[in-house]
Every structure is written in C-alpha cells, then in structure tokens.
Amino acid sequence: MPFNSVNRFEDAEHEALMGVWWSGVLLRQIARRFFRDQTVAESQFNVLMALRYAERALSQQDLSERLLVDKSNLTGLIDGLVKLGFVRRFREKRDRRFYRLKLTGEGVEFLEKLEPAYLELVHGIMNEFTPEERTRLTEYMVRLQRRMEQWK
C-alpha cells in the first residue's frame, strides 16, 4: 500500500491516502516505543483508556467494536490486566453471557501516572499544527473514517 518516497505513480488521490497510511504506520511505531518500557503494552493501554472514558461499564464485545480488535484478542489482553490488578470482570446476573469490565483504583491510578508523559508525546507531535489546522485535520479524519466504514 505505501511507497512514499519515490512516487512516479502520479495519482493525487493515491498520494493523499498513502499519507494517511504512512502517518498511521509511524504513529504505531512511536506508540510501540513509548510503551516498551511501560508496565502495559500499547494494546492494553488502549483497553484501559476505553474503559476509563466509556460512559458505562463495557463488555469485551463492546471493547472489540470500539477498538476494532477481534474479540478473541481481548480474552488474553484482559487476563493480563486482571492479573496486574487494573481491571475486574463482573458477571452480569441478568445475562450470564457477558462480563462488565471495570477499572480498579489501581487501574485509574496507573493511567493517571502515565498520562503526563503520554500527553507530552501527543502534544509534541501535534503542535506542528495551528489550532485551525488541527480542527480541519480532525474534520477530515472524521469524514475519512465515515467513508471507510462503508467498506467494512
């Protein structure tokens, strides 16, 4: 899909999409490195954040949809977070098919400790843009995502 550098393939649409692709690749790389020396991996951090900022207690299925990760992965990911004491699974009485996942106090504490460094990284990258540009970029990304969801 990529090939950023030399692009004799003169197609502006393609070039733009490659830009997004490429930015995503770089972002993943940076994230991986950031989390290398952390207690949790990037994928587990994603779970913690999703749980923290969700409007209600989520199931693994919910997480799967929000994080765009297959539900089968979440079993192990959450096992790890439970073992770390950051998350607990609560069986639902009314419907014993699913769990409600909740962050523990330690989980919240952990996120709060990590947040400053994380935000510093994010801001360090994003202050490339003016507030107006940032707004426009966000808008573009929302539209792009909506468009791409039609291919799912």
Partner DNA sequence: ATATAACAGTTGTAAAGTCAACTGTTATAT
Partner DNA sequence: ATATAACAGTTGACTTTACAACTGTTATAT
Residue 71 near DNA by CB under 7 A: yes
| CB closer to a copy of itself out of 15 and 79 | 15
Q: For residue 99, list its beta bridge partners.
A: 91
Q: Is 13 helix (H, G, I), strand (E, B) or coil?
A: helix
Residue 137 near a copy of itself by CB under 8 A: yes
Q: How many CA atoms lie within 13 A of 139 on its CB side?
A: 6
Shortest Å, Cβ 47 to DNA: 9
User: Distance between alpha carbon 122 and the CA centroid of its chain, in Å?
Assistant: 13
Residue 21 near a copy of itself by CB under 8 A: yes
What letter does residue 90 receive in the DSSP assignment? E
* Positions 107 through 136 that interact with DNA (CB under 7 A): none
User: What's the token pair of residue 66?
Assistant: 């929000």
| Ordered DSSP codes for 16-40 | HHHHHHHHHHHHHHHHHHHHHTSSS
Q: Which residues bind DNA (CB under 7 A)?
A: 29, 32-33, 36, 41-44, 59-62, 64, 68-78, 94-99
Q: Which residues bind a copy of itself (CB under 8 A)?
A: 1-9, 11-17, 19-31, 33, 42, 45-46, 49-50, 53-55, 66-68, 119, 121-129, 131, 133-138, 140-145, 147-149, 151-152
